[in-house]
Chains A and B, each alone.
Chain A
């Protein structure tokens, strides 16, 4: 395949599909749901099975999709699914099995408003579900929050790298704004799918057929409590390593700031605009944007909080990330939440008024 590195204009959802084909993804399994159906549609139109050999399956449900991802990951392949909030709720069973059996895989959640069937309009209401594990048992998954169409594309390969490095599911927690909006992007460079021999070599734990080695068993079941506790301790140690090495975030105008907005994904884009307006009015507001929601940039938040009059958590939900900020800040400075729900996205102006209100 020839290298295309020109600047393109596309939707966030389309960017994910193109990035998957280009980063050596072996399989996509998904079920249609607004506002992310363009991912499966783009893949179906691109027919990557004829070029890279990538498998694309429209599954019968999100339960099936995530279990296909579990199976694909278990046999060492770079596989992914995508959905929106109600579908991701259905996937939690598979995600906890993947966490327990230490299976890599990518789950994209282009969030919409809830609870229940909710609305097809954007929301960030699944923060708790994504960052607290979501399914049964003690586990975490790495959560990346893209804030642009470019990041939708770039985080696909990054997710696979992290998923295989730590043998863990990775969630890209996006939302209907980023999924649907069109922006300029440069697609990532083309990378071939790993050959079967490379998969066997790089994933000696995977169920690829024995071929001369001892048999591999992928399971999350263990009835002996002492062995199960040892496995849980191993998982927790792995999560600690991830906390130490994989925190990602971005600062915006924090150098001289004495007030901090914290926002992720699409909310951070609105927050940036609000900060420009604040600065025009002489208010020294900056922003910390967590890129990894789990692991959360707790240390960075804690150190910035030392010099802030307050921190405002700007979220398109009823206040979820604000809990993590409060835990990180531990009382050093006041922490407030501002958000809208039900598919309403806050405007920069209302954020500015909220900051003015907090100052007074």
Chain B
């Protein structure tokens, strides 16, 4: 059989999501961001929301998310995406509105905006890519950097007396009355990717049903910032990150 004979619609098992455009992605090989982008593009398409979705991109490696997913986008100042999402959703309530943020953006400079958007129960979805480091600026310590983990601004490892402790913003979010769905997922294995996709779909559905705010954390790798190969990074994440950032749902109103 020739390749041409094999490439037939009935043999199709996998394809690039329709809403991912052809712009070359700037992400490092193996970066979790690109997998998360793919899932978002798929879910928006499957829910038929392409024409009425507004994404808010962060300052961080995902700042250019707007170059890859073919929906309307607003690029936010560092940490402010949830405030922008609040206004956007209230002024265009029929649209799906989500933010896409890194750990520095969401859990450090934008902690206030994040907690208050979630607490107001704004019907928005916050997608939180936690790679425990500042990827974009070259690997500095993040609020989520693990104890002992080395970064360019804690070169001897994070220590509590100097740097405090890794922040679990997702746990905080689960305590807020305004949230309807809070979950922590990963994208390092096919099974995890499937679960993350289901989580995104649930969060988007809840927000379109007006049930409140959702936070979907995705524990991620940053092989460049961590100075590891993508494979080592995945292993390190599963060994070290999952022990501190436990995967699973922290809150789901439907489960009550």
A: residues with CB less than 8 A from B are 26-27, 29, 55, 57, 59-61, 63-65, 67-72, 74-75, 77, 79, 93-94, 97, 101, 196, 207-212, 215-221
In the complex, the number of residue pairs spanning A and B with C-beta atoms less than 8 Å apart equals: 125
Tell me which residues from 71 to 93 in chain B have a Cβ below 8 Å from any Cβ of chain A: 71-77, 80, 83-88, 90-92
Query: Which residues in window 6-58 of B have CB below 8 A to A?
Result: 50-54, 56
Q: Is B154 an interface residue (CB 8 A)?
A: no
- CB pair A211–B51 under 8 Å, yes or no, is yes
CA distance A333 to B94 in the complex (A): 60
Residues of B within 8 A of A (CB): 50-54, 56, 63, 66, 70-77, 80, 83-88, 90-92, 94-95, 112-113, 116, 120
Separation of A60 and B72 alpha carbons in the complex (Å): 26
A91 to chain B, nearest CB (A): 11
Most chain B CB inside 10 Å of its own CB: which residue of A57, A71, A79, A221: A71
If A55-B91, A77-B91 touch, does A207 touch B80 (CB 8 Å cutoff)?
no
Q: In the assembly, what is the distance between CA of A74 and CA of B88, in Å? A: 8
Chain A residues with Cβ under 8 A from B54's Cβ?
75, 207-209
Identify the closest chain A residue to B76 (Cβ).
A67
A selection of 29 A-B contacts at a CB cut-off of 8 Å is A26-B91, A55-B91, A57-B86, A63-B80, A63-B113, A64-B80, A64-B83, A65-B83, A67-B76, A71-B56, A74-B84, A77-B91, A93-B80, A94-B77, A101-B75, A196-B92, A209-B51, A209-B53, A210-B51, A210-B52, A210-B70, A211-B51, A215-B70, A215-B73, A217-B75, A218-B75, A219-B66, A219-B75, A221-B75
Residue from B70, B87, B120 having most chain A Cβ neighbours under 10 A: B87
Tell me the interface secondary structure of chain A in the complex: mixed
CA A211 – CA B49 in complex, angstroms?
10
Determine which of A64, A69, A217 lies in contact with B116 in the assembled complex, contact meaning CB atoms within 8 Å: A64
Please give the distance in Å from A281's CB to the nearest CB on chain B.
54
Which chain B positions have C-beta within 8 A of A209? 51-54, 72, 92, 94-95
Chain B residues with CB under 8 Å of A64's CB are 80, 83, 86, 112-113, 116
CB of B14, distance to nearest CB on chain A (Å):
25
Greatest chain B CB density within 10 A among A55, A74, A101 is at A74
